[in-house]
Structure 1
Amino acid sequence: MWIENKVLEGQYVTLEPLNDAHIVPLQHAVQDGESWKLWYANVPREDEIPQYVAQAIRQAETGDIAYAVRAKLSDEIVGTTRYYNVESAHRRAMIGYTWYAASVRRTPINTEAKFLLLNNLFESCAGIAVEFRTHFFNQASRAAIERLGARQDGILRNHQIMKDGSYRDTVVYSIIASEWPAVKNNLLSKLCK
């Protein structure tokens, strides 16, 4: 595997490769904020978590790695994030499927989780690019991606059909290896505040 399936640890979070032991904690986390009710988000309902985890474990066998996000202060699982569409031949991946309990949004949790994923990709794996995608109408997600330092590449119009049958316009962002030093400094400065 190009990206090693391992624990990533920071000051605020520990990213643990997703396993069955995370099902119940993720069910508790998803209840906080009920993000699955947002029509433009793709967050599982509580009863969908076992299938969500099982699918992520299967995908890890092909190089896509999902993590449970553990807040170090509370020692609780507060959400999940992952590498997906990993292309080892081209040393690039997407980061996404990220959702958090409402109680930890706009805290250092997401900033550090993304820092750990990006640092691992660019420095440990010599990645050349990472991509983020989100729904055009998901303003919170778009703002979070932009705060990371990613640049918008474009919009894929009518890119996906949503659960409710509506069409999703997908906004595509990326960070390339030459931008990583500046993005890294930006993220580290946010974490030091």
Structure 2
Amino acid sequence: MARRRLSSEEEALWSALARTVRPIRPSARAAASPTMAPLPIEPSVKTRLTPPPARIIAAPPARTPAAVLDTGWERRIRSGTISPDTSIDLHGHTLSTAHARLNQAIAAALSRDARVLLVVTGKPPKSAAANGNGGGAGRRGAIRGEIGHWLETSPYADRIASVRVAHPRHGGDGALYLILRRKK
């Protein structure tokens, strides 16, 4: 592919950007960049350059809960033979206290090397369209509505292998299994 020359406007923008960059190793700067006289930026060229952040550290990719577990786990969940190691009931709590208790329960389960945490949230709200209620049941199912976000932003999110609806014997739609990862 043939290289094209930069226009004077593009050269001005590039030189303005290049002035804001700090080299990782100062000695490499002199060898790597050819000396070029800075071009004046034309008044018609509007630039809005900000200095780069001091240092960007790439975080390891966050592990997210799996949609499907191996066949042994799937069979145990479907048949209801899974046995929760610990459980927490969030009924009757405000959103803030339920969130705090959920984080405490996950921390406690992880400290005891539990694999399955049963979280009872209550039944999800009936759909507003199905019952003709345009929002009259506004607060019903608030904890259930927020728990997905809480688990995603939890400090323990990388330790959750899967989140599944519980078997009817453990609460069905009103409860969730949190399948926790083993320690590394």
Question: TM-score category by the smaller chain?
Answer: 0.3 to 0.5
- Kindly name which structure, 1 or 2, has the bigger radius of gyration based on alpha carbons: 2
Q: Tell me the TM-score normalized by structure 1.
A: 0.31
Q: Tell me the TM-score normalized by structure 2.
A: 0.32
Which gives a bigger RCO, structure 1 or 2 (Cα 8 Å, sep 6+)? 2
